[in-house]
Amino acid sequence: MSVSMLSTFVKPMHPEGRKFVAIFAGITLVLFLLWEPLGWIGVGLTVWCYYFFRDPVRVTPTRDGLMISPADGVVSLLEPAVPPVELGLGDQPMTRISVFMSVFNCHVNRLPLAGRITKIAYRPGLFLNASLDKASSDNERNGMAVQIADGRSYGVVQIAGLVARRILCEVREGQELMTGERFGLIRFGSRLDIYLPDGVQPLVCIGQTMIAGETVLADLHGTEAARSGGVR
């Protein structure tokens, strides 16, 4: 697969973004009629809107057992936590990795590890800053439980943020997906929580930058201890 200079900057756009880009473009035309400097501000915002809804091609590592980041962003939390009760994953703590997405990150979400979706559960809630710990329990969210080939399950939870106002889940219960397949999107700033299967150690650390569909979160077959990181 060759990479051109144009493809480096121009990315495909998720269908969810088309109406928003059209709205931004329409407002921009009106702003040009009112006052040209305002129109150029509108151009910048329209470009940002397209950029927000970009859906770039990703190259997913495919070795058996690798769990991949479901979201672009930064690891904001990494700790044991009881998964949302509605997912049916039990009442014991599981290792939770939280990936915070700013309004400048790509917001298309991808499945961390191939499996069958056994549960999808939406819960309304608040719109607190998604980087806060209590956003996991208080904010609007949509969770999925996924059963993998060895019978274990893990959870992925889309969490709305301070300016996010819609969670889009594009899959259904019973559906089987491959590692890195797209399953949804969250509009305008949010967070993804991943609850690792029992006995799996994370291979990322707080503050690390994630790339959806590419960055390895954990290895089901690995024996490496959990990592720590330092700012350089």
**Catalytic position from the list 98, 136, 153, 190:** 190
Which candidate, 193, 14, 197, places its Cα nearest to that of 115? 197
Task: Answer yes or no: are the C-beta atoms of 91 and 83 closer than 8 Å.
Answer: no
Question: What is the token pair recorded at 187?
Answer: 């509009």
Is residue 7 flagged as an active site residue? no
Strand pairing class (115-123; 176-177) = antiparallel
Q: Which residues of 194-228 are buried (b: 16+ CB within 10 A; e: fewer)?
A: bbbbeebebbbeeebebbbbebbbbbbeeeeeeee
Residues recognised as catalytic: 190
